[in-house]
Amino acid sequence: MDKAIIGYMRIGFFRIGVFDDAWDRLVQQIGNLGATSLTVTRKRLTLGDRDTTTGWYSQNYDDSTMEIYIIAKGTTPSLLPPGTYVRTEALGLTADPVLEGDEIIANDVYYEVKTVRLHYLGDGFYFRECDLTLLPLQDLTGATYTASTVEDARYRNKVYLQTWLSSTALPNYIVAYGEPDYPLVRVFKEKAIDLVFSIGTPDSVALPVGVGYIENVPITIWCIDKTNISGTKLRWQAETELRRICEEHPTGGSMFTWQRLGDNEKNLGSTVLYSVNYVVNYKRYS
């Protein structure tokens, strides 16, 4: 079946959406060098409802088939098209639609699509370059996840942030535990979220018995690049709001303090994730 960014149609020699049948020529080139085309199962990820405890969206998968060239790490560079690299366990080249977080099953081997980069030739779509990571335990059964209790320090801080963050000061945001089991970029793209306040595992120091705890809670603010709002400005707005609630709404009998640990930009090929790391410190009495 022919693939294109617009559809799956061929009119005469030309395939709609692919510049001058460039994908066919690339297929022939890498096939002559030993790469094998695979018809694989694509498990297309969609996000469902949010979990009330963790704050992340449930995962749903729909099965379909797609054609992809999977090139293992360590393959000779002459096999790869210019500008492509095997950055993870494997590289996938395809003209079929695929997104970060989708899973691919090829010859009973499970991969997760971590990054998708679009390549163009002139004004026409050429192919998708996909970073693939192995999921060695994906087809095994194991223990099911049990949500933490309300006494979990992450839960207390999640409730605290959800209570005091201002929806008028910030655009669409969610508060959740750590990072999800799927690429974070899917939350921004699929759920139209602008900001994520991510609560990591706290570092707790016990005071004398019956007194309480000193808790250091890592909080990462994530946002995605926008055409109408600068990612840097959006991140700054979220930082300002976090500082405000720490100063205006102390809890547990102790004033909050915070440390800014630095920011980060992660280029995912198709987009950029901006983040900044904080540690919030407070004393919690028993």
- Domains of the chain by residue range: 10-134, 153-285
- State the Cα–Cα distance between residues 193 and 274, nearest whole angstrom: 14
Residue pair 268/115 in contact (Cβ under 8 Å)? The answer is yes
190, 199, 253 from 250: Cα distances, Å = 34, 18, 7
pLDDT at 104: 94
> How many residues are there in the chain?
286
pLDDT at 75: 65
pLDDT at 253: 53
pLDDT at 175: 96
Overall pTM > 0.75: yes
For residue 6, which of 156, 89, 123 has the smallest C-alpha distance? 123
Residue entry with tokens 């793209």: 189
pLDDT at 10: 43
Instruction: Provide the CATH number for the domain formed by 10-134 in this structure.
Output: 2.40.10
Burial of residue 103, with CB atoms counted within 10 A of its CB: 0-12 exposed, 13-18 middle, 19 or more buried: buried
pLDDT at 151: 53
pLDDT at 177: 95
> What CATH fold (topology level) applies to the domain 153-285?
STM4215-like (3.30.2000)
For residue 218, which of 261, 160, 256 has the smallest C-alpha distance? 261
- State the Cα–Cα distance between residues 205 and 198, nearest whole angstrom: 21
Residue 104: strand, helix, or coil: strand
Residue 12: strand, helix, or coil: coil
Residue 203: strand, helix, or coil: strand
pLDDT at 228: 52
For residue 65, which of 36, 44, 47 has the smallest C-alpha distance? 44
Point out the residues of the chain with pLDDT beneath 50.
1-15, 17-20, 140-150
How would you classify residue 182: left for phi > 0, otherwise alpha for psi between -120 and 50, otherwise beta? beta
Backbone φ and ψ for 10, nearest 5 degrees, come out as: -125, 135
